[in-house]
């Protein structure tokens, strides 16, 4: 293949900053037709520099996660809807873990109206969201803090989590494969996630459809360990079959509004 064009380089840089780019926005920004942008994105996807998503593309990385603020900007509407549905599952006077992730943070925000909750978390952003609520008891895990996103990770956090046995675990994943494998990028974060899964009576997985279009190198676990999967949409028949086979309750809160490019 030839060297990528300057416009394609700009598209990649923009995607790294934002997490995701759309055909419509790129066509307006570069003052070219949507067909031209589609050709650019197809070329970048063929080079494995980007991955297709509905209506645009996102940066491909199997070993490094997107920047925290870029992840926050992805699928915001879907994340809010997912969070509201997940929060609705958790009754008052329950105990729960909430781990790392921009969607789990939305769940914490949606839990603000609950009463008499005990929340254990290794997510500083969740703690900031919940510590002011007088009817929510918050317990923060100790250990090294990852500067990129406020995650408390490592063996100290693992040992801390293992002291509890809670009603619910609200967990996220950076990627989900069609066979139900749950993946993440940092093995230290995965160690904490494993402890959270192992010490909860019910596991609620919250993840939007973009997680089914990504890859990550570290295995968290499998869909069969999840009790409830809350998402906006599962387009993969294979993953739907995995959920059905393992009696995972699948809650879909919406459908994709974007069109394929």
* pTM of the predicted model as reported, rounded to 2 decimal places: 0.78
Tell me the mean pLDDT in the region 204-222: 90
Q: Is the pLDDT of residue 261 over 80?
A: no
- Model confidence band, residue 57 (pLDDT cutoffs 50, 70, 90): confident
Same structural domain, 48 and 151: no
Q: Is residue 103 part of a domain?
A: yes
Q: Residues of the chain with pLDDT > 90: what percent?
A: 69
Q: Is residue 257 part of a domain?
A: no
Strand partners, 146: 151
Residue 200: partners with Cβ closer than 8 Å, 6 or more residues away: 96, 97, 165, 166, 167, 168, 169
- For residue 10, give the CATH number of its domain: 1.10.10.10
Q: Is residue 121 part of a domain?
A: yes
- For residue 232, give the CATH number of its domain: 3.40.50.1360
Mean pLDDT taken over the chain? 89
Q: Is the pLDDT of residue 158 over 70?
A: yes
- Model confidence band, residue 59 (pLDDT cutoffs 50, 70, 90): confident
The number of residues in the chain equals 261
In sequence order, what E strands does 110-177 have? 117-121, 136-140, 145-146, 151-152, 166-171, 175-176
Closest of 148, 106, 142 to residue 121, by C-alpha: 142
Domain hosting residue 113, numbered range? 70-252
CA distances, 229 to each of 121, 153, 210, 243 (Å): 20, 24, 14, 8
Same structural domain, 31 and 137: no
Same structural domain, 122 and 143: yes
Looking at the structure of the chain, the number of domains it has is 2
- Model confidence band, residue 31 (pLDDT cutoffs 50, 70, 90): very high
């Amino acid at each position: 293949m030839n060297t990528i064009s300057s416009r394609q380089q700009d598209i990649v840089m923009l995607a790294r900053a934002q997490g995701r780019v759309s055909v419509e926005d790129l066509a307006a920004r570069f003052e070219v037709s949507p067909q031209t942008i589609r050709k650019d994105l197809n070329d970048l996807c063929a080079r494995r520099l980007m991955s297709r998503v509905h209506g645009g593309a996102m940066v491909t990385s199997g070993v490094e996660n997107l920047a925290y603020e870029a992840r926050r900007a992805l699928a915001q509407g879907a994340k809010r809807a997912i969070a509201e549905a997940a929060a609705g599952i958790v009754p008052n006077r329950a105990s729960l873990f909430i781990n790392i992730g921009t969607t789990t943070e939305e769940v914490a925000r949606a839990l603000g109206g609950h009463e008499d909750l005990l929340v254990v978390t290794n997510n500083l952003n969740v703690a900031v969201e919940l510590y002011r609520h007088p009817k929510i008891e918050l317990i923060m895990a100790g250990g090294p803090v990852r500067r990129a996103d406020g995650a408390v990770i490592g063996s100290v956090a693992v040992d801390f989590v293992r002291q509890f046995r809670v009603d619910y675990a609200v967990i996220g994943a950076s990627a989900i494969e069609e066979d139900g494998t749950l993946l993440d990028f940092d093995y230290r974060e995965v160690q904490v996630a494993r402890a959270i899964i192992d010490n909860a009576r019910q596991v609620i997985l919250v993840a939007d459809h973009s997680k089914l279009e990504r890859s990550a190198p570290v295995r968290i676990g499998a869909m069969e360990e999840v009790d409830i999967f809350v998402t906006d949409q599962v387009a993969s028949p294979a993953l739907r079959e995995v959920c059905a086979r393992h009696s995972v309750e699948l809650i879909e809160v919406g459908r994709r509004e974007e069109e394929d490019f």
